[in-house]
Amino acid sequence: MITSKIIANGILRAISTLILAALLLYFLYQIQNVLIYLLVSLILALIGLPVLDFFKKKLKFKHTFASITVLMIYILIMLGFIMMFIPLIISQGQNLSLLNTVEIEKNSLELFKQLNSFLENHHIDSATVFDSKNFKSIVNFNIIPNFLNSVAGTISNFGMGLGSVMFITFFFLKDKTIFLKGAKLLIPDSQEEKILNSVEKINLLLTRYFIGLLVQLFVVFILYTIVLFVFGIPNALVIAFLCAVLNIIPYIGPLIASILAALLTMLSNLGSDFQSEISPTTIYVLIGFWIVQVIDNNFSQPIIFSKSVSSHPLEIFLIILIAGFLFGIMGMIIAVPLYTIIKVICKEFFPDNKFIQLITKNI
């Protein structure tokens, strides 16, 4: 028989559970930076494990010394990147006036006037469509500086947390056995094998994915740089860097990169004749970028998005498309890693399900 006391106790338990869940979420929100440090450290540790094993087995290093060596390699790579690449990006960004909103607006309006004159010379009335006042009201000239500032801010924040990340990564490498034993104590015995198998497969697939993604971005950056250098575009490195970073966004990123490259190419050649120099050069750069994207779409992306996470290209495309509709650009970026984690977990815990067997047959 259900009494008022039982109902009251049930309501109290439900309220207590909701309060505890809210407090937990609030706590996690407050320590989000720490969680990010842990995640970055875990990824670095996973990438460094094969190198650690190489030092231990092939070079006969002690475990602690091998961990320190891996850490030093990371530090040298990061310092080299910061000292050699970032100042170059900043200096070229200043030369291109990407950090000056007023200068961008001035150059864009000048380019706009040249385009207007070009169309009028070809008997095309563009006054109503390309009115400079409307152009200024529609176009947000803060887009590029804001993008650069967000990139610089991300690098700066990571630099502030670099010491914490390196410290955590060192102990992930040095005491990996202790962490594994501690995790086993928290895992129920009945589920231990499944969970450990899931973690191992997730580690392998995501490590391959992130390494492949970095290689892809580097290859795209090199190819973009070659295209821009071939056609003599000033500030080629910074333009190639911005466009390569946009490739992190699947499918949409390369399209945005092409538009950005065209705009920056025209701004870089401002002062030249629009018909004989700016227009042909921009078209050549766009063709070069499209060739790079064809190469990337047919060689780099299938290897990273398909082979690295053992999924069919159409499957990956649909997942990214759905994630984009549901969660926007950020959803597209995290779609592949998150989908991979879900697939691995489903394979371990629901191995007899026909649909799960179909989508996880290559894992």
Q: Report domain extents, the chain.
A: 1-30, 33-359
Going by C-alpha positions, the residue among 171, 317, 157 that lies closest to residue 252 is 317
Spatial contact of 280 and 226, defined as CB atoms under 8 Å apart: no
Q: What confidence tier does 129 reach under pLDDT thresholds 50, 70, 90? A: very low
Whether 152 has a pLDDT exceeding 80, the answer reads no
Give helix 63-84 / helix 162-174 axis angle, nearest 10°.
150
Contact between 93 and 148 under an 8 Å Cβ cutoff? The reply is: yes
User: Quick one: DSSP state of residue 59?
Assistant: S
Phi, psi of 270 (to 5 degrees): -60, 135
Average pLDDT, the chain: 75
- By residue count, the chain amounts to 363
* Cβ-contact 292, 220 below 8 angstroms: yes
Which residue is it, tokens 């995790």?
A: 183
Calculate the alpha carbon distances from 81 to 76, 86, 145 in Å.
8, 7, 22
Structure tokens at 352: 């007899």
In tens, the pLDDT along 223-246 reads 999 998 988 887 788 788 888 888
Token digits of residue 6: 């039982």
**Per-residue pLDDT reduced to its tens digit, 243-289:** 888 888 877 888 888 888 887 787 776 666 666 677 788 888 899 99
Q: Say what the pLDDT of residue 87 is.
A: 57
CA 174, chain centre distance (Å):
28
* pLDDT band per the 50, 70, 90 thresholds, residue 132: very low
Least confident interval from 33-42, 60-69, 286-295: 33-42
Phi and psi at residue 269, to the nearest 5°: -100, 15
Nearest Cα neighbor of 111 from 282, 274, 236 is 274
d(CA 92, CA 112): 23
Q: Is 139 helix (H, G, I), strand (E, B) or coil?
A: coil
Whether the per-residue pLDDT at 322 is higher than 80: the answer is: yes
Nearest 10 degrees: CA dihedral of 36, 38, 40, 46? Answer: -150
- pLDDT value for 154: 55
pLDDT in tens, 47-96: 788 788 888 888 888 888 888 998 898 888 777 666 655 555 555 555 55
Bridge partner list, 272: 270
Rounded to whole angstroms, how far apart are CA atoms 98 and 110? Answer: 16
Q: Which residue has the tokens 């910061």?
A: 82
**Is residue 180 predicted with pLDDT exceeding 60?**
yes
The pLDDT assigned to 338 comes to 81
Q: What is the mean pLDDT of residues 153-164?
A: 64
Q: What per-residue confidence (pLDDT) applies to 153? A: 56
Strand partners, 270: 272
Q: How far apart are CA 198 and CA 347, in angstroms?
A: 8
- As a whole number, mean pLDDT of residues 333-355 equals 81
266 in Cβ contact with 235 (< 8 Å): no
Query: CB atoms < 10 A from the CB of 148, how many?
Result: 17
Contacts of 22 (CB under 8 A, 6+ apart): none
Contacts of 219 by beta carbon, 8 Å cutoff, 6+ apart: 296, 300
Phi (first) and psi of residue 62, to 5 degrees: -65, 155
